[in-house]
Amino acid sequence: MMSQVKTYIETNQQRLLDELFDLLRIPSVSANPDFHDDVFEAAQYLAERLSEAGLDEVEICPTDGYPIVYGQKNHRPFFANGFGLRTLRCAAGRPLRTLA
């Protein structure tokens, strides 16, 4: 499995870096009110990338402040030993919880 991940990253390295730099170019510093609209632009950009990556559910969740980007991939391969990744949930690009 790790060799497949490594191959994917090596094959797609430039595209992955381009997407990362595109996101980093959005001045989405939420502590600075001058960038208020940019925070929402960054949330939209991240939601689009998560959808393109194949997540089953992607949502921009409004809050009293800035939005939270939520994504979930439902993946249920079960192996003979009963183990397997079931669900991966992310918010703002960070894993929240993985159920095994």
- Write phi, then psi, for 69 (nearest 5 degrees): -95, 125
Q: What is the pLDDT of residues 39-56, one digit of tens each?
A: 999 999 999 999 998 888
| For residue 78, pLDDT beyond 70 | no
Long-range CB pairs of 61-66, under 8 A, 24+ apart, other chains included: 65/30, 66/30, 66/39, 66/40
Domain residue limits, the chain: 2-99
* pLDDT tens sequence across 6-22: 998 999 999 999 999 99
The confidence score (pLDDT) of residue 63 equals 86
**Helical (H) or strand (E) element with 93:** none
Whole-model pTM: value is 0.72
Q: What is the pLDDT of residue 100?
A: 43
Rounded CA-CA distance 38/23 in Å is 11
β-sheet bridge partners, residue 90 = 71, 95
Question: In Å, how far from its chain's centre is CA 24?
Answer: 14
Name the pLDDT band for 99 (thresholds 50, 70, 90). very low
